[in-house]
Amino acid sequence: MRLIRAACLLTLASLGGLTQAPADEWPQFRGSASLTGTSAATLPSLLALLWTYDAGDAIESSAAIAEGVVYVGSHTGELHAVNLSDGSLKWKYKASEDGIGESSPAVADDLVYVGDLAGTVHAVDASTGKAVWTFATGGEVKSSPVIVADTVIVGAYDTYLYALGTKDGKLRWKVRTNGYVHGTAAIAEAVAYVAGCDELLHAVRVSDGKELFTISSGAYTGASVAISEGRAYYGTYDNEVLAVDLKTRRVAWTYKHPQRHFPFYSSAAVEDGRVIVGGRDKMAHGIDARTGKGLWTFTTGARIDSSPVVASGHAYVGSNDGKLYVLDAATGKLIQAFDAGGPLSASPAIASGRLVIGSGDGKLFCLGPR
């Protein structure tokens, strides 16, 4: 049953039909292959701390959650598998002495995929924590793997976007860009979309690696692209958030805060006609997805590199001030702030009525019903 369910989810992802994470799983970075950062889960109005797990060093990797297990990487170079119910350790897998940075695990068909700062992509058995295969790229892997049917899509700092076989790790194809591939690829209609340090949004066909088109972003970006209703949304280091119409291949609008001009490193969440994204101006921004008009802002105590997640009408936003903020997604009004103690550059993951997020001081927190 587990394998059948996973296969159905992957088929939906490859066809662009899965735009949010299901209620009981968060199988990859941003929850689904479209990278919209939304979940069908219902969380309580106020969150309580349920457990804390010590990973031993900084967590920049955002967690994945599948079959009641949380998977997250840390600067120790280990991939940790922790039970969602109580925070107890299931297993640890040593990937690299160089550490696991921002690459977030993806889980499919009993395998967990993650990249490390030594430039290696790993496939690990989800039950045992044993290596199934590894693939060496030519640069750091900070991009998060995305699974489309029997293919793993992942970028590396050697300028390539790679497609690997899920079962054997063999190279299917690679596409060269003109800069580091830092962001994670978003998938829609069997096309991978990735923006990067070469100031271009690339559209690459998943089946054969053919580059279909590129669109100028006007600046380089560290953010991943969110795809919703035929548009790509992402921020740049030129202090703008872009909406790109994928049919006309034109920029539909740009958003820039009228007073505070800082880069957007955070990846956007897209839900109910709104784009919600964090900025290095210390603010979370709510933007009208159709027009690009600013709807609201909320100011935190430090820059926001963590990518917001939306569920149950709430936006969950981590900040480098060490707090996780719960905001009303429609108005930006503060509902709750949880003090994690260390900077939160990793993004939240939500499943089964619980939220999990890692911190810069190596703690993994699980929040849920009181």
Contact 187, 146 (CB under 8 A): yes
pLDDT tier at 5 (50, 70, 90 boundaries)? very low
- E-assigned strands of 197-352? 200-205, 211-216, 226-228, 231-235, 241-245, 250-255, 269-271, 274-278, 283-288, 294-299, 309-311, 314-318, 323-328, 334-339, 349-351
Q: 12 pLDDT exceeds 90?
A: no
Centroid of chain to Cα 278: 13
Q: Is 48 helix (H, G, I), strand (E, B) or coil?
A: strand
Q: 2 pLDDT exceeds 60?
A: no
The share of the chain scoring above pLDDT 90, in percent, equals 93
pLDDT tier at 19 (50, 70, 90 boundaries)? confident
- E-assigned strands of 95-236? 106-108, 111-115, 120-125, 131-136, 146-148, 151-155, 160-165, 171-176, 186-188, 191-195, 200-205, 211-216, 226-228, 231-235
Contact 167, 29 (CB under 8 A): no
Query: Which residue type sits at 197?
Result: C
Q: 6 pLDDT exceeds 70?
A: no
Instruction: Convert the pLDDT of each residue in 32-60 to its tens digit.
Output: 999 999 999 999 989 999 999 999 999 99
d(CA 361, CA 344): 9
pLDDT at residue 260, as a whole number: 85
CATH number at residue 193: 2.130.10.10
Instruction: Convert the pLDDT of each residue in 300-318 to its tens digit.
Output: 999 999 999 999 999 999 9
Range of the domain at 240: 2-368
Instruction: Convert the pLDDT of each residue in 169-220 to its tens digit.
Output: 999 999 999 999 999 999 999 999 999 899 999 999 999 999 999 999 999 9
Closest to 214 in 3D by CA, of 268, 250, 264, 180:
250
pLDDT at residue 196, as a whole number: 86
Average pLDDT over residues 239-249: 97
Domain count, the chain: 1
Of 7-11, 81-85, 225-229, least confident by mean pLDDT is 7-11
pTM: 0.95
pLDDT at residue 13, as a whole number: 44
Q: 15 pLDDT exceeds 50?
A: no
Instruction: Convert the pLDDT of each residue in 111-120 to its tens digit.
Output: 999 999 999 9
Q: 353 pLDDT exceeds 60?
A: yes
Dihedral angle over CA of 280, 285, 288, 291, nearest 10: -40
The radius of gyration of the chain's CA atoms, rounded to the nearest angstrom, is 18
d(CA 301, CA 320): 8
pLDDT at residue 338, as a whole number: 98
Q: 17 pLDDT exceeds 60?
A: no
pLDDT at residue 16, as a whole number: 44
pLDDT at residue 18, as a whole number: 59
Average per-residue pLDDT for the chain: 95
d(CA 290, CA 258): 19
